[in-house]
Chains A and B, each alone.
Chain A
Amino acid sequence: MSFLAFNLLEPWPEPFRLFLYLAGVMAFVGANAAYLVWVERKGAARFQRRPGPTEVGPAGLLQPIADAIKLMSKQVHVPPDSDRILFRLAPVMVMSPGLMCLATIPFSDTIGARNLDLGLVMVFAFGSINVMAIMLGGWASRNKYAIISSARIVSQNVAYEIPMLLVVITMLMITGTTNLHTIVEQQAGGFWHWNILKVWANPLMPVTFLIFFTCMLAETNRAPFDMAEAESELVAGAFTEYAGMGFGVFFMAEYANILVGCSLATVLFFGGWQSPIGVFSGVVWFLVKLYLLIFTVIWIRWTFPRTQFYRLLNLSWKILIPISLGTLMLTCVMLKIF
């Protein structure tokens, strides 16, 4: 464990820095989770040529706050037959991966909460809590729709974790480290150094990114893979029994997880804070790339209809896994030869 990423606040005493980064990460996740809802609604509206929220505040900017107040004023009802502890624990757990994983993401050379050598592994270790929390929430609420949804989430995530991790192994073979800070440093000096364009290491690198991105959409239960929340067949899936802010937290966690997924994609494939022209690198570039990716996620949601469940599994087992295995093999061969 090194404190390399701390040097922006180097003159400050350690406990104070820790507290500042903790508060910073929590604020960043909270603000993003709240305001990505607004971005999503505005984006959806633009794609459908509507104005979106306009009434609460200028351009509807206070809408997330109004929504939060409304949700918080509702009773958090726990169904009498449910598993009370797990039912209450699930919304807490679902928010944790967003907060935990961002601790390792390097926002710039000098901004980042913790620079772990096993950063990449940690992101995946904590990232799967999200799935477990949704599954537990669905199971604990003792509702048929919620249980079907939980079963779907588990099979969907088992299916999509494999190609995602195969892609990450490919990345590890090229970068040779799991330290996210080092991975970004390796991509310095112009966009042709970014991992997505490292075609001399693996000619299928852009395909690798597409697999990663598809899996990320499936892991975060985003459309077109939102089988867990397929409201036309499963009411609200695992969240059916949740009322008020219990539901609100699940809703926000979806955006927190998108934030983590897109941050990771930025770091792994798009050179993190590195500028595309090689000079003026900084946190601005990280945020630009991050929000462009998030925009793409929203764009995809409002373009494609929801898939069917068996097609979702077919896509993973019959297409993504063979291709990701193929790129893995290809990378092995390329690394051995060159």
Chain B
Amino acid sequence: MKKALGELLSGFVSLLTGMRITLRQFFMKDVTVRYPHEALKMPKRYRGHIVFVRDAESGKSLCIACKSCEKACPSDCIVVDGIKREGEKRKSVTDFNLDFTRCSLCGSCVEVCPVDALEFSKNYNLASTRKDVYQIDLVKRMEDGPK
């Protein structure tokens, strides 16, 4: 009898403890990110598809069309072309096509780039119903994008 009543009392106290915990949660700030209205900032090391790094002064690409990335790419998804313009010391890029359907985001291109002209984008909305969306022209993308 005494044991049963003791169990009953301790059980009841444990129920109250549970209720106290949930009530405390009730008054805390909610942790949800209301996704379409707001989104979390992607972490620094997130790997989206590669994009050009913009030169801080000229606003142009740093790429010298050395084709190191083209050679380094294990999936052969990069095609680079460039010309030497009058009065410039380095070659500059004219074509940089990335076939993202084959890219495995290994990062060899970013690593190998001698002038650090490539970086990973933070773009994660990459689903599409059309395949040609994944043929990304990095030169055009940079020209169209915000200055």
Contact = CB atoms under 8 A, between A and B. Distances in A.
A77 interface: no
Contact of A54 (B19, B25, B34): B34
B10 to A, nearest CB: 13
Contacts of B23: 299
B19 A299 contact: yes
Nearest to A296: B19
Nearest to A303: B22
A51 B34 contact: yes
A300 interface: yes
Interface stretch (A40-48, A138-146, A190-198, A231-239): A40-48
A319 B15 CA distance: 16
Interface string B20-47: 0111011011111010000000000000
Contact of A319 (B8, B29, B32, B34): B8
A336 interface: no
B29 A299 contact: no
Contacts of B6: none
A49 B22 contact: no
Interface string B112-123: 000000000000
Interface residues of B, number: 15
A233 B34 CA distance: 33
Contacts, number: 35
Contact of B22 (A45, A51, A299): A299
A85 B123 CA distance: 58
B18 interface: yes
A49 B31 contact: yes
Interface string A28-68: 00000000000000010111111100100000000000000
A49 B19 contact: no
Interface string A277-311: 00000000000000000000001101110000000
A165 B8 CA distance: 22
B19 A303 contact: yes
Contacts of A303: 18-19, 21-22
B25 A48 contact: yes
Contacts of B18: 303-304
B30 A304 contact: no
Contacts of A304: 15, 18
Interface in B70-85: none
Q: How large is the interface on A (under 10, 10 to 19, 20 to 34, 35 or more residues)?
A: 10 to 19
Contact of A46 (B15, B19, B30): B30
Contacts of A300: 19
Contacts of B31: 49-50
A49 B29 contact: yes
A54 B35 CA distance: 12
Best-buried of B8, B18, B32 by chain A (most CB within 10 Å)? B32
B7 to A, nearest CB: 10
Interface in A230-281: none
Contacts of A302: 22
A298 to B, nearest CB: 10
Given A299-B23, A303-B22, A319-B8, A49 B15 contact: no
A54 B34 CA distance: 9
Contacts of A299: 19, 22-23, 26
A51 B21 CA distance: 19
B73 to A, nearest CB: 43
B145 to A, nearest CB: 32
Contacts of A45: 30
A50 B28 CA distance: 10
A51 B26 contact: no
A299 B18 CA distance: 10
Given A54-B34, A319-B8, A47 B15 contact: no
A224 to B, nearest CB: 10
Contacts of B34: 51, 54
Q: Which 10 A-B pairs have the closest CB atoms?
A: A303-B22, A49-B30, A46-B26, A49-B31, A50-B32, A47-B22, A303-B18, A303-B19, A51-B32, A47-B26
28 contacts: A43-B26, A45-B30, A46-B25, A47-B22, A47-B25, A47-B26, A48-B25, A49-B28, A49-B29, A49-B30, A49-B31, A49-B32, A50-B30, A50-B31, A50-B32, A51-B32, A51-B34, A54-B34, A299-B19, A299-B22, A299-B23, A299-B26, A302-B22, A303-B18, A303-B19, A303-B22, A304-B15, A304-B18
